A = this chain, B = another copy of it.
Amino acid sequence: MDDRSENHDIEVEGGNYAYERKISGILDDGSVGFQQPLLARNRKNTTSQIAIVGANTCPIESLDYEYFQAFFAFAGCNLILATAAASLCAFIAPAAAGSGIPEVKAYLNGIDAYSILAPSTLFVKIFGSIFGVAAGFVVGKEGPMVHTGACIANLLGQGGSRKYKLTWKWLRFFKNDRDRRDLITCGAAAGVAAAFRAPVGGVLFALEEAASWWRSALLWRTFFTTAVVAVVLRSLIELCRSGRCGLFGKGGLIMFDVNSGPVLYSTPDLLAVVFLGVVGGVLGSLYNYLVDKVLRTYALINERGPGFKVMLVMAVSILSSCCAFGLPWLSPCTPCPVGTEGKCPSVGRAGIYKSFQCPPNHYNDLSSLLLNTNDDAIRSLFTSRSENEFQISTLAIFFFFVYFLGIITYGIAIPSGLFIPVILAGASYGRLVGRLLGPVSQLDVGLFSLLGAASFLGGTMRMTVSLCVILLELTNNLLMLPLVMLVLLISKTVADCFNKGVYDQIVTMKGLPYMEDHAEPYMRNLVAKDVVAGPLLSFSRVEKVGVIWQALKMTSHNGFPVIDEPPFTEASELCGIALRSHLLVLLQGKRFSKQKTTFGSQILRSCKARDFAKAGLGKGLKIEDLVISGEEMEMYVDLHPITNTSPYTVLETLSLAKAAILFRQLGLRHLCVVPKTPGVSLSLPSFVFLCRDLFTFISRVFVSQRPPIVGILTRHDFMPEHVLGLYPHIDPLK
């Protein structure tokens, strides 16, 4: 697979000149005519079809004079692209900023926020990500691709877009919560599969990180999705093999093919790997901590308005450009390794030996990392071509550059993935450790680099199996599997001692009410009744239209208990739950009656199932859309046809921890809390023989008659803020 050697086809002397002329905007065909055909015909580009998104599109490497002119061209290009990305993000879809994985994760946990997966978010995510990565930021495209996949799935899930005339009839099968959620899980898996060309990794990512509810059918559906992604990718690669697709024709399914023969290791090697994992875990959790702090700081700037957002992006862009162009001066020139004379320094986009300011037959190793696509930088770090290709000082500088610039870049208003910065930082850290531990360990520096990337990924994202498989599929080296597993486990364990995974942190920071899959310890000391909030608003089975309208108007509740009352039943009992969206449809249909009688069967006959199908996010009816006359307000409507008569219930005395687990495991939105002793609490012996006390008794009956439902628990009732707000004396750590 190593055809990197083929792209140093432009001679050094001529190449520089051609590039320089190109940058200064004057392509004088007459004067450079003898070189131009070379440039046009022979120049091969090994950049993979996706990696082009990560290319710094200003090819000004190997300039060694007119430095400032080149710098301004470079920084200017970057700034324009960055401003374009930021403007899209700030003015059209603020939800498209950032990685998108936390948002997808929150959506799959049941947080139904409209903007997360809206079509505008999709548009901005795609183009913002292209501009952002092209602008030379230390950002990845993997997170945005996951978000993109989820957005496309959502668009399909709500039956296409009626606005843009993109609807299909069969998509109606997804008009319910569960299938839509499954589809979006598949979309996220497809995103990972496409981003890393890792179909199995995509399935595992969806399982381990994205999805909150998993079932065996889903495993097989995501697997199908990623299999299709793999086959399509593979077919496109085959189709483009002849080069007719330009930059998209190159590369294979395996992005960093770094096969380096059998991996052997001894005890000192294992100790080195353990050390790598421990330090990687610490640095990973520090990364999370700093990202959190930076995000909180940026939130203060960003909330001032879109203009400030764009300015912040521009500032970071200029800083990035300065670093990328300024730092290589710190690195001394290295003589070209033996055997590469004709090809070093290289000029092609994906060349590894960049000349920068160096004399002929020397290269600047730091510029090879900085002024290259992220993918090629990772590939360079992962290879074991020559141990001394990168100097220790170069690796240290590059590590600090990527580590800190990655942190301050995440959170600005552009779509920005975290995978690439973390892999880059980890790979340079790993290679650095490999060089330093060279006398102790026999392991290859390329392998150290891979293990460093694994330790950083484990330390920040805290995934295990999915990262392992993604790294496996990225690098095509099964033999290093035990070491990768070991490093991932160590770094995750170490990092878990300090803080949460980066995506969980972002979800928390954004204030999204994420339901964890375990109950908090303090919940064991509370019962369900303790946290049911507010006065209960319930409807009778046959309810006055005005009452319903008023309730919908005054509250934002999404579910209302419906109670069967005399004369329809002997005593009042719980009938079920009616959803706001269904109540709105019922009111809009104006299926009212003047008498307070049950007429549910008529309603059933006049309704169609698709009226009650779940609308697209943010699309459904609103109470403001309804026009109901004063006369109609006095009429009655039978709620029975739209009532879920079989809601999940818990007794009021159930432990809150158990209620939380039930709520989470079954993926509920409403959980009815019913009294332990509804009806009447009679103390019979005290009244039976005292007929004169009958009145007292009756009054007690009425007093002690409790409604058949205590309240409805929703997601927010389980949030620590709510519970600890109600019971401030509880120690949340106990």
Contacts and interface: CB of A to CB of B under 8 A. Distances in A.
A571 B677 contact: yes
B650 A654 contact: no
A472 B481 CA distance: 12
Given A486-B231, A649-B650, A688 B682 contact: no
Interface stretch (A79-87, A219-227, A355-363): A219-227
Interface in A644-658: 645-646, 648-651, 653-655, 658
Contacts of A469: 200, 469
A230 B482 contact: yes
Contacts of A14: none
A570 B683 contact: yes
A678 B681 contact: no
A296 interface: no
Nearest to A227: B485
A231 B676 CA distance: 55
B654 A571 contact: no
A665 interface: yes
Contact of A649 (B230, B654, B661): B654
A661 B667 CA distance: 11
A238 interface: yes
Interface string A572-595: 011000000000000000000000
Interface stretch (A208-216, A401-409, A441-449): A208-216
Contact of A478 (B203, B219, B476, B574): B476
A478 B473 contact: yes
A662 interface: yes
A666 B227 CA distance: 32
A26 interface: no
A441 to B, nearest CB: 15
A666 to B, nearest CB: 6
A271 interface: no
A199 B649 contact: no
Given A231-B482, A464-B223, A684-B701, A654 B646 contact: yes
A199 B677 contact: no
A680 B679 contact: yes
A581 to B, nearest CB: 20
Contact of A688 (B220, B238, B691, B698): B698
A343 interface: no
A688 B694 CA distance: 9
A224 B517 contact: no
Contacts of A397: none
Nearest to A1: B262
Nearest to A213: B665
Contact of A465 (B219, B653, B654, B708): B219
A648 B698 CA distance: 33
Interface string A683-716: 1110010010010001001000000100000000
A183 interface: no
B674 A482 contact: no
B645 A653 contact: yes
Contacts of A440: none
A492 interface: yes
Contacts of A253: 478-479, 481-482
Contact of A648 (B215, B219, B220, B658): B658
A224 B491 CA distance: 12
Which of A215, A464, A476 is most buried by chain B, counting CB atoms within 10 A of its CB? A464
Contacts of A207: 207, 219
Interface string A219-245: 110011011001101100010000000
Nearest to A234: B482
A473 B485 CA distance: 14
A468 interface: yes
A473 B200 CA distance: 12
Contacts of A219: 207-208, 464-465
Interface string A263-278: 0110000000000000
Interface residues of A, number: 80
A489 interface: yes
Contacts of A708: 676-677
A254 interface: yes
Given A517-B216, A681-B570, A682-B701, A485 B654 contact: no
Nearest to A516: B216
B648 A654 contact: yes
Nearest to A487: B227
A574 B676 contact: yes
A459 to B, nearest CB: 14
Contact of A200 (B223, B465, B662, B674): B465
A481 B701 contact: no
Contacts of A224: 489
Contacts of A478: 253-254, 472-473, 476
A301 to B, nearest CB: 35
Nearest to A233: B482
Nearest to A208: B219
A681 to B, nearest CB: 5
Contacts of A472: 200, 478
B662 A666 contact: yes
A615 B353 CA distance: 67
A489 B222 CA distance: 11
A564 to B, nearest CB: 10
A129 B683 CA distance: 68
A492 B665 CA distance: 28
A472 B102 CA distance: 31
A649 B648 contact: no
A533 B557 CA distance: 39
B680 A573 contact: no
5 contacts: A214-B214, A226-B485, A230-B481, A253-B478, A573-B677
Given A570-B682, A649-B649, 17 more contacts: A200-B468, A200-B472, A208-B216, A208-B219, A220-B492, A230-B482, A234-B482, A238-B264, A238-B265, A648-B654, A648-B662, A649-B650, A665-B666, A677-B678, A679-B681, A684-B701, A691-B694
Interface of A: 199-200, 203-204, 207-208, 214-216, 219-220, 223-224, 226-227, 230-231, 233-234, 238, 252-254, 262, 264-265, 464-465, 468-469, 472-473, 476, 478-479, 481-482, 485-486, 489, 492, 517-518, 527, 566, 570-571, 573-574, 645-646, 648-651, 653-655, 658, 661-662, 665-666, 674, 676-685, 688, 691, 694, 698, 701, 708
